Amino acid sequence: MTIAQAGVLAIALVCAVTLGAGALGLRISRTTSDFYVAGRSVSAAWNASAIGGEYLSAASFLGIAGLVYALGADMLWFPVGYTVGYVILLVLVAAPLRRSGAYTLPDFAEARLESRRVRALASLLVVGIGWLYLLPQFQGAGIALSTVTGAPPALGSLIVAVVVLANVTAGGMRSITLVQAMQYWLKLTAISVPAFVLLALWWQSGAPAPAVAGTGGADWAEALSGFGGREHPVYATYSTILALCFGTMGLPHVLVRFYTNPDGRAARRTTLVVVGLLGLFYLFTPVYGVLGRVYLPTLPAGRRSDSVTLLLPSIVAPGTLGTVLSAVLAGGAFAAFLSTASGLTISVAGVVDQDFLARTIGRRAGGDVPRIRTFRLAAAVAVAVPYAASWLAVNTSLADTVGLAFAVAASTFCPVLVLGVWWRRLSVAGATAGLVTGGVLALTATTVTVLAGPSAVGGGWPGALLAQPAAWTVPTAFVVAVIVSYATRGSVPVGTARTMVRLHVPENLRSGTRMPHAE
């Protein structure tokens, strides 16, 4: 069996299992509330696996190895940031967000700030960040399929788009919880087993040192030297850490998972397990980047560094073993694209459905359109736009595009969530100003970087500030939200005191009811 055949087999298997589990979920989920949040009856271990499964994306499975391979030691901060993001989320917002009882980020914004306008703004941002994050999933699928089989990249993207759409429209979130939990363990196996085998073979052959030729010499292995050859590696390191740590809580597909916890306490315990599961996974990804330097000092023509994980096995272990390992990694990579893309699609579709489609269609049809049908239409929209965009933008690396999504999330939702949970004086005008300022600054910086490159503004500090904007856009958004809130004390929501009680008081003490699911 050739690598191409084995790879196709593994990818087909992952797609089939995903669709099969989705169909199983369809039989269980019957009502609309099940459809959205799995009836809130998912246990902490399942939930944590599902969160891990959904979170570990193309950037994690292929992108980190590609970055470490290309740029060296500083890139180790990416997986650290992805993990610490959950600790920050845990410490600042996990339990209060679950206690808010809302389904989505716009739901939370509306509940806390009692404003339809803030809700609309939040909805727009969810869709924008979701699309920005879906784009690299489709690109990654294209890279993976073409690396393993030589098929055109557009085919891999199409497969992921179709499978995700079929699964999301068929089963909703119940099936997704089951599928996602399974995906985590699948991905951990797919990344760790080949890593152990490759490390053993490397050790057996006398543990040759990484070849650093063509990477700027000895700098590759040294901290704070590379960061993509950027001019201010120290600033870039700090700004990236900040974006990843504070962006996680503002990602659309991350928050919706918290509503499947029975209460705030369970939300915390789930998050703790997530931190452990992610840390475990990220121990293995840099191995591929380092071994890539040992065995594959120069990439074959036409290959991106994102494909190093998939290229490695056939070089280290030619023959059957290499073929099997390649197939396992290709399958794992597809699991990563499918699970993250499914989670994002659910979240984006939920917002498109609730805030844009259901109202418009309902009005036209006299208000009698089944919710499931508008949700399916919304899912099609949620997938189609980034799929089309994946044809256009092909030159940014996977982890870079994902980094941009984090920077935008950190500059917009993070200030509103943190201030909303902890600060009673946050006003509607303050939250709006924070969202708009952070959104405009981060989106402008990322757009300029992606379209023109940092050199367009003359390199140096302006280039560094635009390429890694979080270090200045996040504090700016916070400061603007606070100053405007102080200036507009009249627009503090009237129900703030009541909302704060709801966010912070344990469920078993809620007055009037002893039931944790009272909302």
Partner 1 sequence: MYLSALLRAQLRLSLAILLGIAVVVLGLPTLFVLAPATRDVHIGSIPLPWLAVGVLIYPVVFIAARIYVHQSERIEREFSDLMRQQ
What's the rounded Cα separation, in Å, for the pair 306 and 397? 7
Nearer to partner 1, 26 or 222 (CB): 222
SS (H, E, C) 403-457: HHHHHHHHHHHHHHHHHHHHCCCCCHHHHHHHHHHHHHHHHHHHHHHHHHCHHHH
Evaluated on CA atoms 130, 135, 141, 147, the torsion sign reads: negative
Interface positions, 191-230, toward partner 1 (CB under 8 A) = 207, 221-224
**CB of residue 298 vs partner 1: minimum separation in angstroms?**
22
Choose among 364, 311, 284: nearest CA to 61.
Answer: 284
Least separation in angstroms between residue 165's CB and partner 1 is 35
User: HSE-up of 439 (CA within 13 Å, CB side)?
Assistant: 19
User: Of 57-96, which residues contact partner 1 (CB under 8 A)?
Assistant: 73, 76-77, 80, 83-84, 86-88, 90-92, 95
147: left (phi over 0), alpha (psi -120 to 50) or beta: alpha
Q: Which of 104, 123, 169, 237 binds partner 1 (CB under 8 A)?
A: 237
Q: Which is nearer to partner 1, 271 or 397 (CB)?
A: 271
Where is 223: in which H helix or E strand? none
With CB under 8 A as the rule, give the number of residues binding partner 1. Answer: 43
Compare residues 196 and 391 and give the one whose CB is closer to partner 1.
196
* Nearest residue (CB) to partner 1, 211 versus 393: 211
Q: Torsion-angle region of residue 288: left (phi > 0), alpha (psi -120 to 50) or beta?
A: alpha
Q: 68 vs 484, which CB is nearer to partner 1?
A: 68
Shortest separation between residue 93's beta carbon and partner 1, angstroms: 9
Nearer Cβ to partner 1 (208/300): 208
CA distance 315 to 307: 13
CB 62 within 8 A of CB 399: no
| Shortest Cβ 135–partner 1 spacing (Å) | 28
Within positions 394 to 433, which residues make up the interface with partner 1, using CB under 8 A?
422
The Cα 161–Cα 163 span in angstroms is 6
Interface stretch with partner 1, choices 265-273, 378-386, 397-405, 469-477 (CB under 8 A): 265-273
If the CB atoms of residues 359 and 498 are measured against partner 1, the closer one turns out to be 498
Q: What is the contact mask toward partner 1 in residues 89 to 128, using x (rule: CB under 8 A)?
A: -xxx--x---------------------------------
What single DSSP character describes residue 518?
-
Of residues 17-56, which lie at the interface with partner 1 (CB under 8 A)? none
Minimum separation from the CB atom of position 130 to partner 1 (A): 26
Q: Which of 185, 202, 238, 356 binds partner 1 (CB under 8 A)?
A: 238
Question: Is 241 among the residues that bind partner 1 (CB under 8 A)?
Answer: yes
* Pick 144 or 245: Cβ nearer partner 1: 245
When the beta carbons of 13 and 505 are compared against partner 1, the nearer one is 505
Least distance to partner 1 from the beta carbon of 64, Å?
A: 11
Closest separation between CB of residue 167 and partner 1, Å?
A: 31
H or E stretch covering 354: none
CA angle at 154 for the pair 150 and 159, rounded to the nearest 5°: 95
When the beta carbons of 98 and 119 are compared against partner 1, the nearer one is: 98
Only segment of 6-14, 32-40, 113-121, 506-514 that touches partner 1 (CB under 8 A)? 506-514
Going by the DSSP 8-state scheme, the letter that residue 217 receives in this structure is: G
d(CA 300, CA 292): 12
Q: How far is the CB of 204 from partner 1 (least distance, A)?
A: 16
For partner 1, which is the closer residue by CB, 69 or 375?
69
Cβ neighbours, 10 Å, residue 33? 14
* Residues 245-264 close enough to bind partner 1 by CB under 8 A: 245
Q: How far is the CB of 215 from partner 1 (least distance, A)?
A: 15
- The number of C-alpha atoms within 13 Å of 118 and in the hemisphere containing its C-beta is 29
Q: Half-sphere exposure of 260 toward its Cβ, with a 13 Å CA cutoff?
A: 31
C-alpha 6/C-alpha 454 separation (Å) is: 41
Q: What is the distance between the alpha carbons of residues 76 and 195, in angstroms, rounded to a whole number?
A: 17
Residues 399 and 59 sit within 8 Å (Cβ to Cβ): yes
Nearer to partner 1, 197 or 244 (CB): 244
CB of residue 234 to partner 1, shortest distance in Å = 6
Q: Which residues, numbered 275-294, are part of the site for partner 1 (CB under 8 A)? A: 275-276, 279-280, 282-283, 286
Q: Is-contact 105 252, C-beta < 8 A?
A: yes
How far apart are the C-alpha atoms of 200 and 365, rounded to whole Å? Answer: 64
Give the residue with the Cβ less far from partner 1, 84 or 134.
84
Among 392, 451, 494, 509, binds partner 1 (CB under 8 A): 509
In the bound state with partner 1, the residue whose beta carbon lies nearer, of 33 and 225, is 225
Place of tokens 């916890």: 261
3-state secondary structure of 379: helix
- What amino acid occupies position 192? S
- 418 contacts 482 by C-beta, under 8 angstroms: no
Least distance from partner 1 to the Cβ atom of residue 71, Å: 13
CB of 437 to partner 1, least distance (A): 23
Which amino acid appears at position 25 of this protein? G
**Interacting residues toward partner 1 by CB under 8 A:** 73, 76-77, 80, 83-84, 86-88, 90-92, 95, 207, 221-224, 234, 237-238, 241, 245, 265, 268-269, 271-272, 275-276, 279-280, 282-283, 286, 422, 500-501, 504-506, 508-509
